Amino acid sequence: MGKSSGLSSSVTGGIQQDASALTALAQQQGANANTLFNLTEPGMATAENFYQVLASGDPTAIACAIAPATQQISQATAGAKQNIMTNAPAGGEKNLALEQADVSQGAQVGQAATGSYLNSFNALSQLAGQGIGESTAAAGTAISGYSAANQGLGQLGQLQIAQKGAQLGALTSLGGDAATLGAAFL
């Protein structure tokens, strides 16, 4: 009987240690979920503000938002026009090429503005899910850790109940044997 209770106490101690380790892991993952959210929230707020400006449809706000792209388009157009002025022969073809460069610039700026406006809604929806997804994943890991710790503690309780049942069964058996022996001597 001494060996089985020693084995049971080492098993119960191991289960308790495992449950404690899983609980600590779950608490760490819960903290990680908060940390991930706090790290991503400022950047996501900036991106959200940017895309909200684009989604507003305000032409001035959109022009400000796409200003870096517009500047790049203007510089490329200026370089193309300089090349036309330097290398193209004088005449109608040169004038047409210069006009086409201006038309192309306007089309590119218009595409940047339209694309920014139309894509802003999709970007906003992706932003909404991204930060929440990271935080939810870490929280899910924490919940899994708590669940595993709970299962370990449940197994520990079942083991302790089984151990008590075995002890009581042995005592009952000894009591029955003693009664049988006592009746034999009477």
One digit per residue, the tens of pLDDT, for the chain of length 186 reads 444 445 566 766 777 777 777 777 777 877 777 777 777 777 778 888 888 888 999 999 999 989 999 999 999 999 999 999 999 888 888 889 999 999 999 999 999 999 988 888 888 888 777 666 666 776 676 677 667 666 766 766 676 676 666 666 666 665 565 556 556 666
Q: Which two tokens stand for residue 62?
A: 């959109």
**40/69 Cα distance (integer angstroms):** 26
Q: What DSSP state is assigned to residue 98? A: H
Tell me the DSSP string of 107-158. Answer: HHHHHHHHHHHHHHHHHHHHHHHHHHHHHHHHHHHHHHHHHHHHHHHHHHHH
What are the C-alpha distances in Å from 129 to residues 19, 31, 51, 123, 154?
33, 20, 15, 10, 36
Question: Do residues 39 and 137 make contact, with C-beta atoms less than 8 angstroms apart?
Answer: no
Tokens of 99: 């006009």
For 19-38, b/e burial (b = at least 16 CB within 10 A) is beebbebbeebbebbeebbe
Max intra-chain CA distance, the chain: 139
Backbone angles phi, psi at 69, to 5 degrees: -65, -40
- Tell me the pLDDT tens digit for each residue of 91-145: 888 889 999 999 999 999 999 999 988 888 888 888 777 666 666 776 676 677 6
